[in-house]
């Protein structure tokens, strides 16, 4: 156990260990509803590297986990081989590069079948969701953060960014709350949401989520 712990906290594996901690914390936040699994999809494109077709967070997580495991295994193997001097230094310099190469190869192989679970088809217009009822999926919603699930007319469920105006003096939205999407902000690319009360609904809506 001590051998693996030392390898995980020593160079070069410690670099991947730090990245692994970030990945684990991120998915913990996703599980708690404090972050969305596709939070960074609009900013990064891995298609050129053959890693597109799935959320960026999935690609990065697969790469980091594989690189960490490869580097850890390699560090332990180098230690057990009893290498020293220049040979030892070269092995430690080459290991992170080899780990990244293996991680890319493994992630590329896993992304292809996973891409079938994320069809690249245009979703409904965001304007279509105005007037719909959504379910809050993050732990809280304020003027700067929040996500919710809303059902489109065709039955598809989408995850959208939502915000709540603190000046309205409304009850705070939290995970599981029902909210009305009453406006869309084109600049910020989010919906303004307000607490929904079924008793005040004048009638059934075809697009309620």
| pLDDT digit string, tens, across residues 64-120 | 999 999 999 888 888 787 777 788 788 878 888 999 999 989 988 888 787 776 655
What pLDDT, in 10s, does the model give residues 153-166? 777 788 999 999 98
The CATH number given to 126-200 is 2.40.50.140
**What is the model's pTM?**
0.52
Q: How many Å apart are CA 141 and CA 110, to the nearest integer?
A: 34
Neighbour-count burial of 79, counting CB atoms closer than 10 A to its CB (0-12 exposed, 13-18 middle, 19+ buried): middle
Q: Determine contact, residues 160/124, Cβ cutoff 8 Å.
A: no
Rg (CA), the chain: 23
């Amino acid at each position: 156990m001590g051998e693996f712990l030392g390898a995980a906290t020593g160079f070069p594996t410690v670099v991947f260990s730090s990245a692994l901690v970030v990945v684990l914390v991120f998915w913990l936040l996703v599980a708690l509803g404090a972050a969305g699994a596709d939070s960074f999809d609009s900013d990064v494109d891995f298609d050129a590297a053959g890693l597109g077709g799935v959320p960026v967070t999935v690609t990065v997580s697969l790469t980091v986990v594989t690189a960490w495991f490869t580097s850890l295994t390699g560090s332990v193997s180098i230690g057990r081989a009893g290498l020293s001097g220049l040979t030892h230094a070269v092995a430690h310099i080459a290991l992170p590069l080899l780990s990244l190469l293996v991680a890319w190869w493994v992630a590329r192989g896993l992304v292809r079948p996973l891409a079938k679970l994320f069809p690249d088809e245009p979703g409904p217009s965001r304007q279509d969701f105005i007037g719909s009822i959504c379910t809050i999926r993050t732990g809280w919603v304020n003027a700067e953060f929040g996500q919710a699930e809303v059902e489109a007319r065709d039955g598809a469920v989408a995850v959208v960014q939502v915000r709540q105006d603190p000046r309205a003096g409304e009850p705070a939205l939290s995970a599981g709350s029902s909210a009305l999407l009453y406006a869309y902000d084109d600049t910020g690319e989010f919906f303004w949401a307000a607490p929904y009360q079924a008793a005040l609904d004048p009638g059934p809506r075809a697009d309620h989520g």
